[in-house]
Every structure is written in structure tokens, then in C-alpha cells.
Structure 1
Amino acid sequence: MGPMTDPDELLAGLDREQREVARALHGPVCVLAGAGTGKTRAITHRIAYGAATGAFQPNQVLAVTFTARAAGEMRGRLRGLGAAAVQARTFHSAALRQLQYFWPQTVGGPAPRILESKIPLVAEAASACRIKTDRAALRDLASEIEWCKSTQTAPEDYDSAVAKAQRVPPREAAEVSRVYAAYEEHKRDRGFIDFEDVLLLTIGVLDSRPDVADQVRAQYRHFVVDEYQDVNPLQQRLLEQWLGQRDSLCVVGDASQTIYSFTGATPEYLLGFPDRYKDATVIRLVRDYRSTPQVVGVANALLAAIPRDTPAGRRAARARLELVAQRHAGPPVGYTEYPDEAAEAEGVAESIKKLIDRGARPAEIAVLFRINAQSEVYEQALADRGVPYVVRGVERFFDRPEVRQAVLLLRGAARSGGTSDSAAAGGAAGAGEETDDGLAATVRAVLSGSGWSPKAPAGSGRAREQWESLAALAALAEEYAVGHPRAGLADFVRELEERAAVQHAPVVDGVTLASLHSAKGLEWDAVHLVGLTEGLLPITYAETDEQIEEERRLLYVGVTRARETLQLSWALARAPGGRPSRRPSRFLDSLREAKAAMTEAGAGGVVRRGSGRGPQEQGKSKRTGPVRCRVCGKALIEAVDRKLGRCADCPSDLDQALFQRLRDWRLEQAAEQSVPAYVVFTDATLTAIAEIRPADRAGLAKIPGVGTAKLDRYADQVLTILTGSAPAPDEESQDPEGGADGEDIGASA
């Protein structure tokens, strides 16, 4: 919509506190906004209201946030509110734009090239210092260098700086200092700058050239900073240069969501804002519109349990916002204890599959964990059940080779005009798609040349990841066509180029697997928080009071990502049959204590223990023990070994002819159901069937991967293939372990 004649119409859909934010147009403003309280809505309406009333000139407003996705979302909202001329950028993109513009007149020549990754130069620097490193060590060193530069710590000051910050260096402080110094030298020699240099150089230009600073300050007179709790000293210094002596600044944040201190971020600038600006307007947003009362109750209980007997605890308690749920009641929060990690992954995957079977979209479900290494077991468990997923944070969407290639093909088709709408529709129809002569059909036709097809490939490897990327582009084309009915391929390519410039990736329709850090700023209908044990959350190396409180904040961020369904789980052992030596996270204690009160108020859940299955699998029999190799008797750890029922390197008595007959049957079933073959049975399950050759339904039910649903659906056909004749009736038709469809039932050898 365009600019409104009546500015007050902009405020009609806001609550009392949000309206107060929108009307606070002059002087310094500090908005303390809890999770799910509509902070982006409040500040974008503030900007639009200021423009509509004449308080702001839209092109003189700079809105700054921390991720390209958040900046893109803010720009979209501002366009919808009639304030498209407002600049919404990340700190780095805003600084880079200014640096590139002023570099020729302040330094001369083209601006330096930006280093896309520190890792290669860190590796060279470590080698020059004769320090041996592996890939993990290089990542740690690169992160430490980033912290140094964000906190403006020079190589020679590193030792004292980490001691003052109570920071645990990844290596000996002297070694880090040497690598840091060598990295800076190698970078200068090659004419590169890194992302922190972009801020440093912009600050330097503004500081040393008053004429340039005057130009920037004449352009931007009003500033809004979102997620202000994540500002580091370098970004704060740049913000102060932009402001000069003015105070037309609105900051928004929640100190309880400060989770990036390892990069130098600190909530002190947010908490100290009223002290720096004595006339500041401070507004609190606490009405939670995102989550159900059950989820909000857990979030509040988590922060209410902050110990106040330490400086870190007292500061955290002072920053706490008590959320007030605005949604109707939802399902109870689930707490599940599992015997081992494999059982936890299988239980979570089975719970997710049931949500999807009941109509939930995979893209509205997430599994969140503390470290990325926890992802693999959940990837396998979801793949075993044919559930699509996407791992967040491993590689930026528009940097993926298949996406770059697809965009190149789309650009070429748009420029040449060689793929007309009608031809594209015919191509799509040839692949079994609709003949709608539209943009979406054109895009699908072009993507088919990159490997896209209407059906996803089987498995969970690279081929599946590539297909998911192309499918996301196809889905984005459909979405874009709905919003832009007259758009052609060239328009869509421009949309992709704009998104790529700010890394605004489309949503992939799969279950999200993500670390708690990478989940910040996102939300889902259903969230599974997994691995909640001491040593993982809080993480082992969190030792100081402040570090422990940051781990609590990390869990708080995870909890508040859920709109409706929240499941928390933990495992007592790493491997099946392992010693149950792990303890549930200390943060769960406060939630257990608050559980009874929340239940009485209609906002709690019930702790479930020892199931070894998903939160909805109560009432079925427990595991009888670890899965053991039927050849050597060892407990099986790897998922594929448990499916086979033996160690991968133990002798196999596989009947190859029988195995092939089973594969042929599986292909027929998959074709009839229009599903990937592995959804019927995985290769590992078919191998186990062909090796064990069960004689009846009870024997078939004992094979991992054959649960009740699959037993009911396929038992007669499989047994016919195994025996060469129709099976005899078998009264023991139910899985004796009570396994759900496709799960590892955990029967002992």
C-alpha cells in the first residue's frame, strides 16, 4: 500500500505499548522487547508513522540489524507501510556501502577486496608460526581473531584481554597472539580486508575526515538499531560515529537473549542506555503473541530461577522481562528421558512423523541442539522415516553450487528469451506438472535442466540436498508469481539477485535441524529441544557464573522459538547399552518445580521417563536392552548396524537372489504409492530380512525397521516372497516390543 493520508490508521493494529513505541519519535528511545512481543512490528510502524507525520524524511532513516534475513524482512514490512525509501541494512552492509563510496576520494583507487573466509589465511599464518592445526583448530582460531577485532584487541594485548574477560582461549594465549599477528600481516600483503576491517576502516574514515562524516550525518539523521543486546564494541563505536552529537536513536533488544558474547557482543550497551541518555524514553513490550501459555510458562520459569547470589545472576535478573501470553492454551509441554542418544533421535523422529501425518508442514517443525555435531543422528532418524529435512547454518543458500548454477541458467533463459512461457509449460507438463503457461512452470522447466524433478530422490545424501535447494527455488517462483501476477522470468531473476545480495534465502519445506545459536530470530509451530544434559547445556567449558547464565539464555532462546508444541528431551547414555552416566541439565530443575503450578493453571506438562520412544508413545512396553549383533553379540551403536542386526564387518549370509526379489517388490510398492523406495523399507532393513529370512509375522516384527504399521501393510507380501507361498495365519501378529512404524524396537539378541 502507499503512504496513508491519516497517519493514525497506521496505529490501529498495535497494542498499547506498541503504539507508545510508534509515537515516541523524538529523542533517545529504548525498547525492551521480550521474545514474541512484536518488536519488529512496533519499530517498523514507528518509522512509517514518523514518515507519515513528517517527523522523519524516509531517505534520512537508517535501520540497522544483525542478519541479512532480518534486514530483508524489515525492508519488506516498510514497503508495505509506505516507507520503501528507508534503508534497512546490517552493520556490515551499511558500512561497506559507505566505505566503497568514499574510498576513492579519501584513500584513492579501488576499495580493497573482502576476504570471504578467514580460514585459508589463518592456516597460512599458523603454518608460518610452525603451529600445527586441524580444521577444527582453524575454525577456533578464526573465531578468536574475530573476537579480538570486534573488541578492538591488538595481538600484543591478547593475553591480558582474555584474562580480563575470563575467556578460555582455544590454545595457549601466546600462540593465538602470534597467529593473529601473522594473519594480519598475510592479509595486508595480499591486499585483502576482512569483515571486521570494513567496520574499522569506515570508523577510521569518519574519524579522520570531518567532511566525510558531515556528508554521512547529513544523509542519515535518524537511527534504529534492532537486537541491540548483540552489539559489540566495534559496532557501538561505528554507531557513535554515525550519530555524532545527535540523539535521534531508537534501540530495541532483550538482554535475556544475549547469546553471542563469544563474538564480543555485550548487553551492557542496552542495559546502560538510560544511564547514557538521561532523558531516554524506556518502553517495555511483554505481551507474547507468538507462543501458547504453556510455552510462555516454561520460558518465564527458566528466567525466574536465575540465582541472585552472584553479580552475573543479579544483572540477569534485573534484565528479565516477564512475558504475558496472549494466545489460547495449547498442548502441554513434553519432557522425555531416553536411555541413549539413538533412542532419543528415534523417539523425536517418530514424534515428528506423527505431526506430519496429522497435517503439520515439515517447514514448521524444528529440532534444536547445542552443537552441530548432534545433527547427524537426527538426520539419519528422519531419513529412515522419509521425513524431509534441512540443516541450517552449514552453507549459505545462494553460495551452494547447485543454486549458483540454477540462477545462471535462469538468467540466461531470461536474457535469451529462448524459454517461452508456453514452451516452459509444455516442458513442465512433460515432467508430470501442470500446463499453466505461467512463471512457475517456466522456472520449473529451466530447473529441470539442473536436476530438479517433481519427486525427491531417495536417501539423505548430497543428491537429496541438491534437490531440496532446487525445490526451494521452484517453490519461491510459485510464491512470487502469486504476489506478482504479471511478472516474467526476468523479474524473478532480479528478485533472486536482490535476495542473493542480502542472503535472503527461501524457506525449504523440510524439518529444520539447527543449533540453538543459528535458530535465533526464527520460529516454528513445533520445536524439539534435544540433548538437554550436563556437559551439553550448559556446555562443558562454561565455567564462570556469566558463562553459565549465557547457557541459560541459550535455552531460553530455544524455548521461545516454539509457537504451539514444545518437547524437551535428554538421554542418559551416549550409546545403546552404555552406562547411564549423564545427568539431565540443571536448567530442567526449575522447570520441574514450576510444572505443578503451571499444570494447575493449565500451562504445564508432564514429565515422562524411560520410554525410549517419542513423547506420544507412552503405554507401550519399554526397551528390553541394547540392540546386539546376532553374530558377535556386541552392542550396536551405529544406526545402520542396528538396522542390519549385526556389525557391518561381521560375516553376512545374505541370499542375493532373495534380496533382489525384495528390492523389485519394494520398487513396485514405491511406484504404486508415489513415494521414494526407502519409505517402504530401507536397504538395511531389506538386507536384514534377506539374511534372517523370518518364517512368520512374529519373526518379521523383530527386525529393526519393521514396526506395527509396516507389519500390517506389508507382512503378507514379504512373507510370500520369503516362503514362496501364502503365509499361514499367525496369532502373534503384533510387534512384541510395541515398536512404531519404522522405529528401531531395540530387541535384545
Structure 2
Amino acid sequence: MNDAAETVLEGLDAEQRAAAATLTGPLCILAGAGTGKTRAITHRIAYGVRAGVYDPHRVLAVTFTARAAAEMRSRLTSLGAPGVQARTFHAAALRQLQYFWPVSVGGQMPTIVQNKIRLIAEAAKRLRLTTDRASLRDFASEIEWAKVSTITAADYPARAAGRPAPAGVEHTSFAKLYEAYEDLKTDRHEMDFEDVLLFTAGMLTEDEKVAAQVRQQYRHFVVDEYQDVSPLQQRLLDLWLGGREEICVVGDAAQTIYSFTGARPDYLLQFRSRYRHAEVIKLVRDYRSTPEVVRLANSLLADRTAEDEQIARRAAARKRAGENTDTQPPPWPAPLTLISQRDHGPVPQLTQHPDDDAEADWIAETISQLASSGVALSEIAVLYRTNGQSQTFEQALSSRGISYQLRGSERFFSRREVREAIAALRTSSLVQTEEPVPEAVRAVLSSIGWSRTAPESTGAVRERWESLAALVSLADQLAAERPGLTVRQFLAELEERSAAQHAPTVEGVTLASLHSAKGLEWDAVFLAGLCEGLMPITFARTQREIDEERRLLYVGITRARTHLYLSSAAARHTGGRGRRKPSRFLAPLRRELGMEEPVRRIAPGSGKPSPNASSRRSTVTCATCGAALTVASHIRRQRCENCPPRYDAALYEALRTWRLDYSKQLGKPAFMVFADAELEVLAERKPAPVDEELLKIPGIGQKKLQAHGEGLKQVLREHSS
């Protein structure tokens, strides 16, 4: 190697240097957060170019965002390798498709649909499906998932089994919508962004001349963020390679947070299985965060590793007993243990607050103190799980005159559903009445999508509900603070807040969801709203989904360079009963910080410990497969929805028959007597028909037993005899 090439390796640590100096053959770089992965791969490419091993025009580096691709090109240019192509998957595929279409296909290439919503709305109208903006967004997301997972409309019902119904539309009906959408595109000679990858892959598969020319053009490939590759992207990558092994992939399975879009870490984790002679190099020296932040991140992942060992032991015991273990959740991959290379910094703070407003006020006050100490506002971020949480922080920062910028979402008062809600309130007849504001707001917003219980689906429906729920919570708060508040005054307050938060800001605190913070970093990071139901999110039920929530929190922690704050709130609004529980993920962090578990109380300031208080909250797991349980009915049963029931079927049917007859006599719905989950537990445990035994059943209390116990005991006695 010449001296010019060797200078490229100067300044790299031992692991980065080993990665950069490995120029041929398959290479897998497992790079933890903040370990300099972009530095390693750009120096590797530049080193290969300067050494004469790579022709810069025959190297293709692909990543997932235009920003990351631009950063890579800039670094390569400064390192003396300006001719290398660094693009996103879509940009690289589109370039090839435009070049080869006239030769391979002929005629004019279809135009790209910039937004699927218009076509999906027309397809839905043809099928007479009722839609709104939120459901259309959910349909678009589901179509994108299906296409990157290489699932056709015909295959969708079978392949999507187990997935939530998009916008509540059953899978067979959605498959028809999917097919109608594809037909519309074909009729209008249009294609979407997923088609860019599909058409390019199809062209390379069917036209050997085109495939040979592409493979002649690109000899070496580098893939960044490889843990986020979808099946469609992997298929295209395989076609580019054409059986060759000149590929370098970089990723971290602990940062897989986009599974809902079709991303799979399996390709990264199984790289060595596909390429048996591949070199695997681990980057674990963290140059971003202080030792205090890094230790907290490590402890979060280590706690899940310990859980996995317990699950494996339980599965082994069940296997020895001859029980079914097919529902065993996937093993947790061994995470990288990061080692900070920075000087020590402040200890991360973990706090709990009475309500959301108190939490937001504390965060705003702490930000003010950080700014006074010299931390730039642009180097501070407040991260949360859902976009609907932003309004409280927007208001708290605005009230102190602290500028901010929203990343990844519209400002709260600019969101369509918020504007619709305000318009509906303004035109409602309740404006002229003396109806209490909380009741009036609930009545009006119920007509446009708000409900007392949160939807289980993800995406647009959930975000819309979160925004409307934030308005309901604000109504509760203002009514409590201002006795006699009218709907007209509430509207005036909303208008004032809207005007204040539309002030232009150039430099300010970043407010962002955890997903949109991926790939970014700040000097100070606030992770807010870390309570059960938000972290992990309510609809995360299976072990796989809860694991992804843990990784999402890990990504949030590793965004912080120096200052890290983690907080939760016991109630949504001021004066509310503190029923929220801190996130289960905070338990290992408290142990790392040497903190005790918070004691639950009936209400703020009551001084009376709850009879259900415990010093430590443990995760309830399925008695069959060991998966974590988060849904109340699953917790009562001690069984996840995927595992077979263990109860006495005859007793269960007898209980259901009695409940149905009895509920008809009372004129009540059957579930108001006893829930199905309670009947299942009764049929499984077969308790003696006496009060002290029945009170041990989850969900059955003294009041319910007094009201309905006699008939229940009679059924148990008859079955026993």
C-alpha cells in the first residue's frame, strides 16, 4: 500500500482500523450507537480507492435516508474518493430504472405517485368503503408494508394473519382495496416508491443483459443500517450482487425499531450463516456519550438478556415435562456492550411527577437552567413515544419563552384533527349553553373520532386519537383550574395557544418522537412520559413487540452525549388520581443508579399507601410460553392470545350458560356479571364454592361476590359433584 492510502487509516481506533483495512470478501461490522460506524465505512471506501483496490465509480454505498447519503458523500469527497455513489435504496434503484427502461421495457416509464392517499381514496370509493383521512393513512402504511414484504394482494389475507386489521377493515376486504389500488396505478401508467424497487428487481431478474451491465458497473457494495433492510431491499441487493461476495454491511440489532414497516434484523444476525467466510468486526468504543449514559444503556439491554435466560429455563422445564414449546418467543440476540471513551459527566436523572403538566413544567425549567449554563437550545431534545404528547411540552416551553422546533410531525395546532376539533367546537350548539366544559368537549369530539378507550391499532388512527385525547385532557385541566369556565372561554384559550405556538422559530429545542430521533444526537436529552401504556405502548402485547419497545428506549438513551433525564407522570392532568405506573423498563435503570422503586400512593399528597403497593413491579408472563403480558384480560388468565387454554371446558361452558341466563334476568350485558377471562380462570383453578377461595380469583372482589356469588357457587358445586 502507498503512503497516501495509509494516511487514511490514521486516527482510527483498532477496531475501526481493522474494518477499514478489510477491503475484500464479505464483511459484517456490528457497530453500537456512537461507535463511529460512518467514519469506519467511509475510511474503508477511501482506503480502497487510494490503494487502487476499488474503482470509485464501481462502488455503491446505500443507506436509508437522503441525509445520511449526503453526509456519506461529503465525507468521501473530503477523504479523496469523490466518485463513489452514495445513495438511498430508492434513489439507486430509480437511477437504474430510468436508464434501462427504454431498452429493457420500452416506451415511457410510469410517472411516480408522490402521495398514495388520492389513489387509495378513489379505490375505496369504487369498493364503497367509508374512509377518512386517518384510515387512508393506515391503508397507505399497510400497502407499503405488504409491498416491501413482497406480499401481493392475492397472498395478503393469508400472509397478514395475526396483524391488526388496518383501520378496522378485515383482511379480505383490505386485499380487495389493495388490488383496486394496483389496478388504478396500472390504468393511469403510474407507480409508487415501492414499485421503483419492485420494477428494478423484476427488470434485473428477467433481463440478463441489464443485470450483467449493472453487475459490471458496480463491483463493491456497502450497506449502512443493515438491521433495517426489508425483504424487498434484500432481494434487490442480492440481484445487484449476482452471487458475488464483495459486500460490507453495517448495523446494530439493538437499534431495530422499524419492524412495523417491514424491516428485519434477521439479515444482519444471519449474515455469517449466508457468508460462512465473512469477517465480523465489532465496534464497541462509544465516542458519543459519557460513561454514565453508556452504563444506563447497557443495563437496559442486559436486563432483557437476563429475562431471556429465565424464559429459556422455563421452556426447558416445560419441554422436559412433555409440554408444547412451539410458542416460545424468539431469543433475544446478544447485545453489544458499549465502552465509553469520554470523560465522566453528570449522573442521569430519573424522576416521577404528579401529572403531565408538572412533568412538562419541570422539563421546561431544567431546559432553562441548562441554557443559562451555556448549553445551546439546538443541542437539547425532548423525546416522547407518540406525537400526541407534544402539546404539553409545546405549551410549557412557550410559557417560558423558550423557542422549539417540532421534528417528524406538524405543530399540534396545525394538525388536521386538531383544526377539525376546534371547528366542531366553534359551530356546536353547546357553545351557547352552560354545559360543563369537559362534558361538552367530550360530546363534540366523540362525533369526530374520540373515544374513552384508546384504539389498539397503530399509525394514523392512534395519532388522531392521541391529539383529540390531549384536547379532552386540556379541557379537564382548565375546568379544574378555572371554576365556571365556559365553552366559549375554552375556545378563546385554544386560539391564544394556537397563535403563540405558530410564532416562527429558527433555533430552539427539538421536540420529536423517539422514532424520528433515530440517527441524531444532542448534548442534553429528555425522555418523557415513560409510563406503562406509553413505554411500552399499549398495543405492544407479544414478546417481540415489547422487545422492540425496549430497543426504542435504548435508541432514545443513546441519543444523549452528556445530560440525560428520564421522567414519568402519575396522572394525565392536575388533580388526577395517580394511577399510572412507571415503565417496567425503568427498573434496571433504577438499580444501576442505586435508586429505590417509587411507592405507589392512592392520590398525590394523601399520605395513605395503596393496599396494592409493592416495592418492585415484576413483569407478568404467560404460564405456557413465558411471553410478557400487558393486556388486563391476558394477565388475569396468565395466558397470551397465542397459547391454548388450560381450563376445564365442561365447567367453562356451564359457567357461560349460567352467566347468560342470569344476565338476561338482570337485564345486563353478560360481561358485566363476570368477564370471559374470569370464567376461564375459574374453570382452570376450580376453586371450592366458598368466599375465601373465590376472592383469590383475579377480578372477583367482595362487591361482585355479594351481588352474583350464589349462582356462581351453585354451578361450582354441581360441577364438583
TM range (shorter): 0.5 to 0.7
Question: What is the match of residue 9 of structure 2?
Answer: 11
Post-superposition offset of 1:592: 1.3
Question: What is the match of residue 52 of structure 1?
Answer: 50
Post-superposition offset of 1:314: 8.1
SS in 2 for 1:262: helix
Post-superposition offset of 1:564: 0.4
Q: Choose from 396, 412, 422 the match for 1:381.
A: 396
Post-superposition offset of 1:160: 1.7
User: Structure 2 vs 1, CA of residues 14 and 461 (structure 1 numbering), >3 Å: closer, same or farther?
Assistant: farther
The percent identity for this pair of structures is 58
Q: Choose from 246, 259, 262 the match for 1:261.
A: 259
Letter paired with 1:149: K
Question: What is the match of residue 138 of structure 2?
Answer: 140
Post-superposition offset of 1:57: 0.6
Post-superposition offset of 1:98: 0.7
Q: Choose from 19, 22, 25 the match for 1:24.
A: 22
Q: Single out whichever of 168-177 and 84-93 deviates more from structure 2.
A: 168-177
User: Structure 2 vs 1, CA of residues 84 and 253 (structure 1 numbering), >3 Å: closer, same or farther?
Assistant: same
Letter paired with 2:205: D
1:657-714 alpha-carbon deviations (Å, 9 max, x no partner): xxxxxxxxxxxxxxxxxxxxxxxxxxxxxxxxxxxxxxxxxxxxxxxxxxxxxxxxxx
Post-superposition offset of 1:108: 2.0
In 2, Cα distance between equivalents of 1:462 and 1:313: 53
Question: What is the match of residue 442 of structure 2?
Answer: none
1:508-538 alpha-carbon deviations (Å, 9 max, x no partner): 5211111111100000000000111111111
| 2:520 is equivalent to residue 522 of structure 1 | yes
In 2, Cα distance between equivalents of 1:365 and 1:4: 44
Residues 53-68 of structure 1 correspond to what in structure 2 (within 5 A)? 53-68=51-66
SS in 1 for 2:516: coil
User: Structure 2 vs 1, CA of residues 463 and 336 (structure 1 numbering), >3 Å: closer, same or farther?
Assistant: closer
Question: What is the match of residue 95 of structure 1?
Answer: 93
In 1, Cα distance between equivalents of 2:174 and 2:2: 56
Q: Choose from 346, 350, 370 the match for 2:365.
A: 350
Question: What is the match of residue 284 of structure 1?
Answer: 282
Is the contact made by 1:256 and 1:316 (CA closer than 8 Å) also made in structure 2?
Answer: no
Is the contact made by 2:62 and 2:223 (CA closer than 8 Å) also made in structure 1?
Answer: yes
Question: What is the match of residue 542 of structure 1?
Answer: 540
Q: Choose from 201, 204, 207 the match for 1:206.
A: 204
Question: What is the match of residue 107 of structure 1?
Answer: 105
Q: Choose from 316, 321, 324 the match for 2:336.
A: 321
In 2, Cα distance between equivalents of 1:290 and 1:547: 28
Question: What is the match of residue 602 of structure 1?
Answer: none
Q: Choose from 190, 193, 216 the match for 2:191.
A: 193
Letter paired with 2:537: I
Post-superposition offset of 1:66: 0.3
In 2, Cα distance between equivalents of 1:55 and 1:395: 47
Q: Which runs of 5+ in 2 are unaligned?
A: 313-326, 412-494, 608-721
Post-superposition offset of 1:315: 5.6
User: Structure 2 vs 1, CA of residues 145 and 358 (structure 1 numbering), >3 Å: closer, same or farther?
Assistant: same
| 2:360 is equivalent to residue 362 of structure 1 | no
Is the contact made by 1:295 and 1:564 (CA closer than 8 Å) also made in structure 2?
Answer: yes
Q: What TM-score, normalized to structure 1?
A: 0.64
Residues 268-667 of structure 1 correspond to what in structure 2 (within 5 A)? 268-306=266-304, 307-308=307-308, 309-310=310-311, 317-394=332-409, 467-468=504-505, 508-596=506-594
Is the contact made by 1:21 and 1:31 (CA closer than 8 Å) also made in structure 2?
Answer: yes
Is the contact made by 1:349 and 1:381 (CA closer than 8 Å) also made in structure 2?
Answer: yes
Letter paired with 1:334: Q
Question: What is the match of residue 618 of structure 2?
Answer: none
Post-superposition offset of 1:168: 5.9
1:558-585 alpha-carbon deviations (Å, 9 max, x no partner): 0000000010011111111112111111
Is the contact made by 2:15 and 2:283 (CA closer than 8 Å) also made in structure 1?
Answer: yes
Is the contact made by 2:398 and 2:500 (CA closer than 8 Å) also made in structure 1?
Answer: no
1:41-73 alpha-carbon deviations (Å, 9 max, x no partner): 000000000111111011110000001111111
User: Structure 2 vs 1, CA of residues 20 and 462 (structure 1 numbering), >3 Å: closer, same or farther?
Assistant: farther
In 1, Cα distance between equivalents of 2:518 and 2:24: 30
RMSD over aligned Cα atoms: 2.6
1:581-629 alpha-carbon deviations (Å, 9 max, x no partner): 1111111111112222xxxxxxxx8989999xxxxxxxxxx9999xxxx
Is the contact made by 2:329 and 2:543 (CA closer than 8 Å) also made in structure 1?
Answer: no
Q: Choose from 131, 148, 151 the match for 1:150.
A: 148
Is the contact made by 2:330 and 2:544 (CA closer than 8 Å) also made in structure 1?
Answer: no
1:706-737 alpha-carbon deviations (Å, 9 max, x no partner): xxxxxxxxxxxxxxxxxxxxxxxxxxxxxxxx
Post-superposition offset of 1:271: 0.4
Letter paired with 1:320: P
Question: What is the match of residue 242 of structure 1?
Answer: 240
Q: Which runs of 5+ in 1 are unaligned?
A: 397-457, 469-507, 597-604, 612-621, 626-749
Question: What is the match of residue 78 of structure 1?
Answer: 76
Q: What TM-score, normalized to structure 2?
A: 0.67
Question: What is the match of residue 123 of structure 2?
Answer: 125
Letter paired with 1:346: D
SS in 1 for 2:33: coil
SS in 2 for 1:96: helix
In 2, Cα distance between equivalents of 1:200 and 1:460: 46
1:397-433 alpha-carbon deviations (Å, 9 max, x no partner): xxxxxxxxxxxxxxxxxxxxxxxxxxxxxxxxxxxxx
SS in 2 for 1:305: helix
Is the contact made by 1:38 and 1:289 (CA closer than 8 Å) also made in structure 2?
Answer: yes
User: Structure 2 vs 1, CA of residues 86 and 104 (structure 1 numbering), >3 Å: closer, same or farther?
Assistant: same
Is the contact made by 1:48 and 1:78 (CA closer than 8 Å) also made in structure 2?
Answer: yes
In 1, Cα distance between equivalents of 2:582 and 2:569: 8
User: Structure 2 vs 1, CA of residues 168 and 565 (structure 1 numbering), >3 Å: closer, same or farther?
Assistant: farther
1:165-210 alpha-carbon deviations (Å, 9 max, x no partner): x566442222322221221122222222111000000011111111
**Number of residue equivalences:** 504
In 2, Cα distance between equivalents of 1:186 and 1:578: 51
